[in-house]
Amino acid sequence: MSAYNTDIQAPLFGETQTWERAVNVIIGIVLVVIVTVTFISALVFPSWPPLPVNIFFSICIIFVCIGNILLIYWYRQGDVDPKFRLLIYYNSFCVIALCVAANLYFHEV
């Protein structure tokens, strides 16, 4: 008998609850949709061809979103300490706020 735990399916920090997984999936989907809409707005508004500053702004938002989605993925795999759950929520709120600000800027509100 080995002294090491050989059960690969066992979560690192105990059982994760269903609602916690659902919240992470919903946050990930909402972020991807909002960032996609923001990127499309950067390409379409205010006129064609798109302004380079709009493209740069949307690409920066995409990079931040990729980091947050990766953090959500690692959290769901059990590779990240549970205390980082609040950081995931905070980063998600910041990305959504950036997307709202970008869309207001792109649509010249």
Whether residue 106 is contained in a domain is answered as: yes
Whether residue 63 is contained in a domain is answered as: yes
Whether residue 25 is contained in a domain is answered as: no
Task: Convert the pLDDT of each residue in 11-63 to its tens digit.
Answer: 545 555 777 778 878 887 888 899 899 889 888 877 778 888 888 988 998 89
Instruction: Work out the widest C-alpha separation in the chain, in whole angstroms.
Output: 68
- Residue 10, SS3? coil
pTM to 2 decimal places: 0.73
Whether residue 34 is contained in a domain is answered as: no
CB burial class (10 A; 0-12, 13-18, 19+) of residue 15?
exposed
Q: Per-residue b/e over 43-77, b at no fewer than 16 CB within 10 Å?
A: eebeeeebeeebeebbeebbebbeebbebbeebbe
Residue 89: which domain range? 55-109
Split into its structural domains, the chain has a count of 1
Whether residue 102 is contained in a domain is answered as: yes
